[in-house]
A and B are shown apart, each in its own frame.
Chain A
Amino acid sequence: MKESWQYKIFKVFNVAVLLLVVFITLFPFVNIVAQSFSSEAYINAGEVSLWPKGFNIETYKVIMSDEVFWLNYKNTVVYTIVGTLISLILSTMIAYPLSKTRLKGRKFLTLFFVFTMFFNGGLIPNYVLVTSLGLGNSIWAIVLPNAISVFNMLIMRTFFENIPDELEEAAIMDGSSTFGILFRIVLPLSKPIIATMFLFYAVTHWNSWFQAFIYFTEKDLFPVSIYLRNMIKGAEATVGTGATSADNLVQISANIKSVTMVLTVIPILMVYPYIQKYFVSGVMLGSVKG
């Protein structure tokens, strides 16, 4: 089969366009990394693009020795772990029963969950609820209100539905209870979907900031995302400990911001190679059947 000359031109053009997309996608990130290793003078002169100029790692040292930063970073780790576990357990508890066609009221229950995807209480009633429950300034204010993603739950349910019934029937013959089946047969077979969900939820919890922003007033509880948010919104006062004197701060601020951003995304970058594979298959699993 001979290719037409139009198609050949298209192919060259296509590769060029896709390379441009890749460049634009990666540029902002590479630029931030380059800035984080550059000296402020070059940044201010607008000379840093893809490679550091006036190489320095002083700012990394400054940030790394900032107690507030470390405290906030540690908070994020704790919130992410606790939040992910709660989300994962709750999602499994819904998805598994809903995957059983014999469950009476299954349709109604599904609708009960799915409806929350299209209609929600809105910002203020949610705020009123969380504060009335006395959850403000506690980890529960950020891990509970959005613990379940109905979309993730549906993907999980689809996965469970595809586990052959024969396996469970055999277990019932052997006298296994529902919990026994869930723990000994279904969950061990569901490692791919559990890994996917784990990563989905972990990334969401790691990246979240708004909940903490509205419910937290105690700085000791802030996640690192709030630390960064205050920095980019110009409230540099949050970085006020030890080595970073006020003068220093104004001088190295662009640099400080980029270092903080890099440190904030490092965990994401570390898991990304693993995430990639799972995320793609996870989304595809969910898309096969709604």
Chain B
Amino acid sequence: MEGVSKLKQNQKLKNSLWRSIKKDWQLYALIGLPVIYLIIFKYVPMIGNIIAFRRFIPGGNIFGEQWVGLQYFKMFLNDPTFYNVFANTFILAFLLLVITFPAPIIFALLLNELKNRMFKRFVQTASYLPHFFSVVVVAGMVFELLALNGPVNSLLAGIGFDKISFMQLPEWFRTIFVSVDLWQTLGWGAILYLAALTGINQELYEAARIDGANRWKQTIYITIPGILPTIVVLLILNIGNFLQIGFEKVLLLYNPLTYETADVIATYVYRVGLESGSFSYGTAIGLFESIIGLVLVLGANYLSRRITDNSLW
């Protein structure tokens, strides 16, 4: 009996979907092309990851020639460079999370204290600008600024220090990378927080003032809780992208002398896969990285829903 009614229900569902497609065929027609696009350019490469388990021959089948099981995964687990790039990735990602994630929040709070609208707009306008420069231009600026005869070294020499060949020293790479990232994202990152700040009910502040709360207390008890949902959502997104630390920027800024601290999983995949032609091996490492990323975003979202009631979905 139950089976029959289920069948009926299924039939009904099919019918209603069919009716809806018939009625709104134009909407479905619109979305058809993008869906095909997505299958070809996003989902096929996802399936293409299968070459991490199969031997791939350049120019051959894009899904590889024969099964080799976990051979390529074993290969990177025995690869000393892998551990180095893995550690580098985590260290850089961690530095970015503790430095470039909170910085825009603080920046937005400071901007929010400005009463002069002209000045506020001026600061904002200036701070967004680096976001629109291409990474290539940004890398070019970094090389020029940190050149042996560039402004930074002139300043160092001026106050009695030795000149430093920043771009050639592994111990400087992380500082440079994080600073560049901070420089490029500070203003842009603050936009969403500023939007959240304007959404806070002004009456709350008045009530607090009547109760004798000063600016600091108002910030702690009203402003910060007010933007907390935004902070949480952006934090989840950040954690999801934890390992994606500006691959293009690293590729432009590093060189063999700084591999020791600068080489990350993505750049290693690039060199192993595209430069040396070990496609399957590179894919295996890349897949490993993507899966960590996916697990991180799902985990962060789950935790956030449990703890704070905020989640991406």
Contact = CB atoms under 8 A, between A and B. Distances in A.
Interface of A: 1, 4, 6-7, 10-11, 14-15, 17-18, 21-22, 24-29, 31-32, 35, 43-49, 90, 93-94, 96-98, 100, 102-105, 109, 112-114, 116, 118-129, 132, 144-145, 147-148, 177-179, 182, 203, 206-210, 214, 225, 228-229, 231-233, 254, 257-258, 260-261, 264-265, 268, 272, 275-276, 279-280, 283-284, 287-288, 290
B114 A14 contact: yes
Contacts of B27: 96-97, 100, 103, 178
A219 B294 CA distance: 37
A31 B151 contact: yes
A210 B137 contact: no
Interface stretch (B76-84, B85-93, B269-277): B269-277
B62 A118 contact: no
| Prevailing SS type, chain A contact patch | helix
A265 B269 contact: no
A93 B34 contact: yes
B248 A210 contact: yes
Contacts of A94: 30-31, 34
A138 B301 CA distance: 40
Given A46-B149, A118-B297, A125-B46, A257 B144 contact: yes
A18 B111 contact: yes
Contacts of A260: 140
Interface in B204-244: 209, 214-216, 230, 233, 240
B214 A129 contact: no
Contact of B37 (A17, A90, A105, A121): A90
Interface of B: 16-17, 20-21, 24, 26-28, 30-31, 33-35, 37-38, 40-49, 51, 56, 62, 107, 110-111, 113-114, 119, 122-123, 125-130, 132-137, 139-145, 147, 149-151, 153-154, 157, 183, 186-187, 191-192, 195-196, 209, 214-216, 230, 233, 240, 248, 251-252, 266, 269-270, 273-274, 279, 282-283, 286-287, 289-290, 293-294, 297, 312-313
The 4 A-B residue pairs with the shortest CB-CB distance, nearest first, are: A121-B45, A125-B48, A207-B134, A178-B26
Contacts of A28: 141-142, 144-145, 183
Given A28-B141, A119-B290, A232-B136, A290 B191 contact: no
Contact of A127 (B107, B122, B274, B289): B274
A14 B113 contact: yes
A279 B194 CA distance: 14
A233 B150 contact: no
A127 B273 contact: yes
Nearest to B142: A28
Given A11-B113, A93-B33, A109-B35, 16 more contacts: A25-B130, A29-B133, A46-B149, A46-B150, A118-B293, A123-B274, A124-B279, A124-B282, A125-B47, A125-B48, A127-B273, A132-B62, A207-B135, A232-B139, A261-B140, A290-B233
A283 B198 CA distance: 14
Contacts of A105: 17
A228 B40 CA distance: 32
Contact of A35 (B129, B144, B154, B240): B144
30 contacts: A7-B215, A14-B114, A21-B123, A27-B151, A28-B141, A28-B142, A32-B141, A46-B150, A90-B37, A93-B30, A93-B31, A94-B31, A94-B34, A102-B24, A120-B45, A122-B49, A122-B269, A125-B48, A147-B41, A206-B134, A210-B251, A225-B136, A231-B140, A257-B143, A258-B144, A261-B137, A264-B134, A265-B133, A272-B129, A287-B230
B283 A125 contact: yes
Contacts of B24: 100, 102-103, 178
Given A45-B149, A121-B49, A128-B56, A147 B37 contact: yes
| Prevailing SS type, chain B contact patch | helix
B274 A18 contact: no
Given A46-B149, A179-B26, A207-B135, A120 B128 contact: no
Contacts of B16: 104
A280 B154 CA distance: 37
B45 A125 contact: yes
A6 B219 CA distance: 14
A145 B17 contact: no
A10 B136 CA distance: 38
A1 B213 CA distance: 12
B279 A122 contact: no
Given A113-B38, A258-B144, A125 B49 contact: yes
B141 to A, nearest CB: 4
B60 to A, nearest CB: 9
A115 B216 CA distance: 41
Given A14-B110, A121-B44, A284-B191, A228 B127 contact: no
Most chain A beta carbons < 10 A, residue from B30, B119, B191, B248: B30
A257 B140 contact: yes
Contacts of A208: 134
Contact of A32 (B144, B154, B233): B144
